[in-house]
Each structure stands twice: as structure tokens, then as C-alpha cells.
Structure 1
């Protein structure tokens, strides 16, 4: 398990990864444009399409990351973290667009076959692209592991598909060059287009989950429960709700405490629990509601009796409890 990271350090890493992605995309566009003019390869053109959209997606990502890292203000009390998944959805549009354009080009090359010329140039350029893309992916994965950024993760998934695409283009050029099988070039282009579309769907699902306030994963929820219940005076907790918005994390729950303690003691215990949670989740905003344990038990008993006599009535009781009724 990686050590907790501060919001400032996460921001520095995310900006580094975003700037590196823009620089890498610009370099690869120039290289691949030259190689396509030299070879006429449709599979190489597929990577040029992808790199052109990479630069647009990475620029959007860069702006979104900077916006998402802005602190909360009077008009955005929960911060700007959802700029990250919004950037992820915009990347989905870019990626699907590149896939559609590539499918159109593949169809044209199947209907009107074109020979590949000077494949050696294309192979050399793709080899260099593999090195550049591989270095970028290593950096992005390090940043994702440290920050959990969905925007950088989406960008990394995009460049991960590029990495495989570059290998497939080299294979297509070698086969077409050595064996004269012209159809391998558009075939590899087709496979690349389908893989790009699959990547877009994956990124879209992750971004949608964050925008819709999907709960944090079970391992993180279990860790929260363990931390809370490890406090000697915390009886239990219920109504745990969690969500993420970029680098921002929100945790709220009802903390069950002994009936006999004072309000001051309950406040101090809640502060101690909150401090323990912040050690594990430094960027979390935590809301704790204190409940006397006996009140929770009585509510559970009442719920059980209601279910026996009037099925479904306990759900209304739960709703009233969450509204503070």
C-alpha cells in the first residue's frame, strides 16, 4: 500500500504528467506525419490520427487537471474535483472520433488497395514512438498509483492503446514488405480502430461512475470501518456514505457512542476518529454525526417489529432518520 499523499504533492505530479503528455503527443505527430508521407501506410496513418487526437485530449486534460486542483470557493463548496471525470468524458469523444475516422480510412484501403512504400522509414519512426510512449506511460502509471487521478488514468489508458498500436503497425509494415500481403496493413488498422473504441468505453464508464457519485470500492470502505471501530470508545458506525470527485474524497457516517458520555467527550472522540481517518485519507472531507448507541438499538428493534406487522414501513423510518425526523 502506498503512503498517503498530500493534495499539493498530488497536484505537482498530475501537472507533470499532463505537461509530459502534451509534449510527447506533439513530438509523435511530427514524426508520424513525416513517416506517413514517406510510406503511405494506412496502419501508420491510424497512429497519426490517434496522435493528433492525443494532443487535443491531453490539452483538455491539462486544463481540467488545473481546474480540478483549484481549492473550494464560495460558489463551489465541494471543490472543483469533478472537472477530472468531465475531462475523461471529453476524451471518450476524442477517442471515438479517431476510431470512426480510422474505420473510414480502413474501408477505403480495402476497396482501393494502396502499396506501402519505404517501410523502413515507418518502422524506424514507430520504434522511436514506442520508446517515447513507453516512457510516458511509466510516468503516468506512477502518478496514478500515487494520486488515483481518473483524468491521468484515462490519458494513460489512451497512450497504453497507442503503445500496442505502434507494435501492430511495425508488424503490418514488416508483413506487407516481406510477403507482399497488402491486406495486412488495413487489417491491422481495423483491429486498432476496434481496440481504440473499447478503450473509450472503459474510460467512459469510469468517468460516469465518478460523476454519479459511485461509492468508493469495498476495500476502502472496509478500511474506513476498521479505522473507526478501532477507537476504544467507538461502539460502531452506520449509514456510511462515500464518494470521490477527482482528488477530493467525501466520507460521512453516523458514529455510535456510549450513552453515558458527555457532549464534550463525544466531540473529542469524533475529532480523534476524524484525525485517524485523515492519516489514511489525507484529501478526505469527513462529516460525522454522533448517535447514542441505545437510540440506534431502539430504532433497529422498532424497524424489526414494523417489518413483522407492516412490511416496507421500516424503509420509511430509515428515510425519516436520514432527514433527522
Structure 2
């Protein structure tokens, strides 16, 4: 059984992608102006980061809209993995920007250049930090409500922006105080951190695309809910995965073989309702297996238990 996504969840996801794209465009504009006026490689590093943010946010916007489409004849499980594909695309964009910055940082170390209008650059970076904090606050709210992998990936590289913008401020300050080499060194440090962030985002996307099992605590909670029903003897063959907003769950219930079919169906329905109450957006499939209670031994835990023959 699958429950449809609430309309407010749909709206929140779309608003989060619009806010992310709009913020990226604003920051690109102000950082581009600051770079032209200061000539700072650290500001350029932050600008490139924002350019990648803009591209990634645009991909995110399109992917989230596609992932929210209802299942159709060709996609019976929905379109949720579009979010993970967007995350993988973001990782590629971010890694590319990091490599670009590493190359330019090394070049600037060999050929230092004087900076201009440093105060303007500092104010631009302070503005960028303020705008990013507002966006992250909204994204954090959306993630708590939706658990979206795409929004989580988007928020992760905006969190790196806080560090890159702070590093840019530090580099500009010291460059203006007579330490010009700190400008390219700051850019190189930012590039390394961006590359690390790209690895984190790509790794999370690959977990989803490869149908990795949900965290053990989530799976154990599913087991505990099922085993809490007094009629259930045990549970085995629990399988889980995440696709966009939908959590896919499959499990087998062990029930007394003497139960009438209608009673077994009622028990399975009650277990289903209890699990869906805890995980409202889950796509849940429950199979019932007959067991002899007098010969049945319940395992202390139900994760990854193989199916046993009736009897």
C-alpha cells in the first residue's frame, strides 16, 4: 500500500528549489561585480562556487518537479530517483568548480597580483553569508518536513558556502593587511573543501541509486512495530530502499497456520496501518506465511533473517 504525497509537501519542495535558484542568481550578480572591482582570487573562488550553485539549483528545480510526478505506466514505482540523479549531477558540477579553482590558485601563487576595493569585497561577502543563512534556515525546515535527498544535497553545498565566504573574508582582510599570498592560499583551501563536499553529495546519491538499505535504526523500528502486534509470531525477509520521497518496504509476517484467511488478512492490515502511521509516505508490501506456533522460535531481532519453511 502506498499513500500519496500531501499537497503541502509538494509545495514545500517546489518553494525550496525556487528559493535556492533565486538566491544563487542574486549571489552570482553581487560576487561578479565584486570580483571585477577587487581582482581577488578568493572572491573569484566564491563566485565560481555560486555559479556551480546556480547550475546545481537549476538541475535540482527540474529534477524535483519531475520526481513529484505520479507513477505512470512506464514508471510504476514513481520518478523519485530523479532526486538522486540531481544530487549526482550537483556533485559533478561542484567537483569541476573545485578543480578549476585549484588550477587558478596555483597560477596566482606563481604570479601574485595586487587587490583593489577590498572593503567592497568584504561587504559583498557579508551580504552573501546573510543571504545563505536565510536560505539554509528555510531548507532545514523543508528537509525536516520532507526528508528530500535533493534538498539535502542542495543544502550541503550551501553550507559549504558559509565556510567559503568566511574564508574569503579572512583572505581579503589579510591580503589588505600586507599578506597578498593569503588570497590564492585561501582560494586553494576553499577548492579542497568544495571537492570534499562534492564527494559527500555524490556518495549519498549513489547510495540511493544503488538501492541501499535504509539505516539500521529505521529497519529495526519497522521490525519493532510489526512484532508489537500480539498475533504476529515473527518477521523475516525485510527489504527497504528510498526513492525520492517514497520509502519502499517489503516484509513477511509469520502467523499461526490455523488462523482463518480473513483473520490473517486483518492482522496484516493492522500491522500495515501501524507501520504507515510511523512512515506516512511508505510504499508497503506485506506477505503472510503460515507457521506452527508450538515449533516456532522467535529471533531476538528480525533484520536480514532468511525465510524458513512452514511447520
Q: Same fold (TM over 0.5)?
A: yes
Q: Which runs of 5 or more residues in structure 1 are unaligned?
A: 301-317
- Equivalent pairs counted in the alignment come to 301
Equivalent positions of 1:273-288 (< 5 A) are: 273-288=271-286
Q: Secondary structure at the match of 1:282?
A: coil
Q: Secondary structure at the match of 1:92?
A: helix
Q: Does 1:266 align with 2:264?
A: yes
- TM-score calculated relative to the size of structure 1: 0.89
Q: Does 1:202 align with 2:200?
A: yes
State the alpha-carbon separation in 2 of the partners of residues 15 and 125 from structure 1: 28
State the alpha-carbon separation in 1 of the partners of residues 11 and 161 from structure 2: 25
| Cα drift, residue 10 of structure 1 | 2.1
Query: 1:188: which partner in 2?
Result: 186
| Cα drift, residue 319 of structure 1 | 8.5
Equivalent positions of 1:269-308 (< 5 A) are: 269-294=267-292
Alpha carbons 2:236, 2:307 under 8 Å: kept: no
Alpha carbons 2:233, 2:293 under 8 Å: kept: no
State the alpha-carbon separation in 2 of the partners of residues 107 and 266 from structure 1: 69
Equivalent positions of 1:61-76 (< 5 A) are: 61-76=60-75
Q: Secondary structure at the match of 1:63?
A: helix
Q: Secondary structure at the match of 2:79?
A: coil
* RMSD (Å), alpha carbons: 2.1
Equivalent positions of 1:77-96 (< 5 A) are: 77-96=76-95
Provide Cα deviations, 1:61-108, integer angstroms capped at 9, x if missing partner: 000001111111111000001001000000011001110111111011
Q: Secondary structure at the match of 1:115?
A: coil
CA separation of 1:70/1:95 partners in 2, compared to 1, >3 Å: closer, same or farther?
same
Query: 1:133: which partner in 2?
Result: 132
Provide Cα deviations, 1:168-196, integer angstroms capped at 9, x if missing partner: 11111111112x11110000100000000
Query: 1:146: which partner in 2?
Result: 145
Query: 1:159: which partner in 2?
Result: 158
Q: Does 1:246 align with 2:244?
A: yes
Query: 2:32: which partner in 1?
Result: 33
State the alpha-carbon separation in 1 of the partners of residues 185 and 175 from structure 2: 11
State the alpha-carbon separation in 1 of the partners of residues 238 and 295 from structure 2: 17
Provide Cα deviations, 1:135-187, integer angstroms capped at 9, x if missing partner: 11111111112211110010000100011111111111111112x11110000
Q: Secondary structure at the match of 1:253?
A: strand
Query: 2:301: which partner in 1?
Result: none
Q: Secondary structure at the match of 2:213?
A: coil
State the alpha-carbon separation in 2 of the partners of residues 7 and 194 from structure 1: 40
State the alpha-carbon separation in 1 of the partners of residues 189 and 141 from structure 2: 29
Q: Secondary structure at the match of 1:260?
A: coil
